[in-house]
Amino acid sequence: MHDLQAERRTALAVRVWRTLLGVALLIWLTDLATKIWAVHYLSHRGAIKIIGSLFQLNFIRNSGAAFSFAPGATLLLSFFGIAVLIAIVYYAPSLTSKGWAVVLGLVMGGVLGNLTDRIFREPGLLRGHVIDWMQLPHWPIFNLADTAIVVAAFISVVLTARNIPPINKEELI
């Protein structure tokens, strides 16, 4: 009986890691590809209306966070992103469901997407500006990495409302 429980926990851990890393990789690569596209096709143009003023493509290089928050704090935001990645890797083995693995995969992919910009784009290491290119009315211009993080927040609310705990507290002891 004990071996069966251990086997189930191991199988869940494998599924959780596979889901988390698969989602993170998909988001990271898709975000990177769309940012390369945006730099190539949008960086020298004005806003392009897709659905009137409801949805536009509008290229910016963002040195801060959303809503023009902390425009000079790129280095701090980079270290915060690294801390989030470390926390995800630390807590992932204790996840209780594939749903929470998807949540952390979305967050990890989003953080990796924006952190990649902060590491490799101008003006320099851990101070690079994030490429944002999608715009909705009364909302900051954003990218797919940002979208993944917002979707993760929504899913976490749904999982919490359904009483699905994110971690197994016994495994943390």
**What pLDDT is attached to residue 155?**
98
pLDDT at 165: 93
Residues 116 and 79: their CA atoms lie apart, in Å, by 12
What is the CA 109 to chain-centroid distance, rounded?
Answer: 4
- The pLDDT assigned to 171 comes to 57
**Contact yes or no for 87/167 (Cβ under 8 A):** no
Kindly list the catalytic residues: 132, 146
Question: Whole-model pTM?
Answer: 0.91
Give residue 79's pLDDT: 94
2-42 helix and 144-161 helix, angle to the nearest 10 degrees: 150
User: Dihedral (C-alpha) 23, 29, 34, 37: value to the nearest 10 degrees?
Assistant: -170
Whether residue 110 contacts residue 27, with contact meaning beta carbons closer than 8 Å, is answered with: yes
CA 3/CA 106 separation, integer angstroms? 32
User: Residue 169: its pLDDT value, please?
Assistant: 67
153-170 confidence digits (pLDDT tens): 999 999 999 999 998 766
- Taking the C-alpha atoms of residue 130 and residue 109, their distance in angstroms, rounded to an integer, is 14
pLDDT at residue 47, rounded to an integer: 95
For the chain, residues with pLDDT lower than 70 are 1-2, 67-68, 169-173
The residue ranges of every structural domain in the chain are: 2-42+75-123+143-172
The amino acid at residue 104 is: L
The pLDDT, as a whole number, for residue 170 is: 63
